[in-house]
Structures are given as structure tokens and as C-alpha cells.
Amino acid sequence: MTEHSKKAPVPNPQPGLANFYPGVSVQLREYYQSVQEEGIPERFLELLERLDVAERQAGEGSLMKDGAQ
């Protein structure tokens, strides 16, 4: 190994990693908070409603088949 190919030592994961990566936890909290505040897009709510209707209809069809036997 030459002098130029030596790699810097990687710190062992230990409590206190925030000392090595300052601000990461704050950034993650801010990102999570922004996602929570976005709300659900209308298009997504419509798709969820259609899925609920389809599941109810599938469940009713299954009950009818079971009752007919």
C-alpha cells in the first residue's frame, strides 16, 4: 500500500454519533414534520374511496356466494 492509497480510518459506530454528523437528526425531524403538514392530495383520497367501494363490493359478493351454498 502506498502513501497515497491509504484510506482514512472509519469511526466505529458508538453513542454520540451526532458529534460526527451534526444536524442530521434536526434535518430528519424537519423533513418528517413537513411531510405531516402536507396533507393528502385530493386525487389520492379519491383513489382510496374507490378502493373502499371495490373492497365492500367484493366482500358482499363473497357473502352472497357463501350464503347460496
pTM above 0.85, yes or no: no
pLDDT in tens, 11-55: 555 566 556 677 888 899 999 999 888 888 999 999 999 999 999
* Distance from the Cα of residue 63 to its chain's centroid: 35
Neighbouring residues of 11: CB distance < 8 A, sequence distance ≥ 6: 20
Q: Domain ranges for the chain, please list them.
A: 41-69
Identify the CA nearest to 36 among candidates 28, 24, 48, 26.
Answer: 28
What's the pLDDT band for 59 if we cut at 50, 70, 90?
confident
| Contacts of range 25-34, beta carbons closer than 8 Å, 24 or more positions apart | none
Q: What is the dihedral of CA 11, 15, 19, 24, to 10 degrees?
A: 100
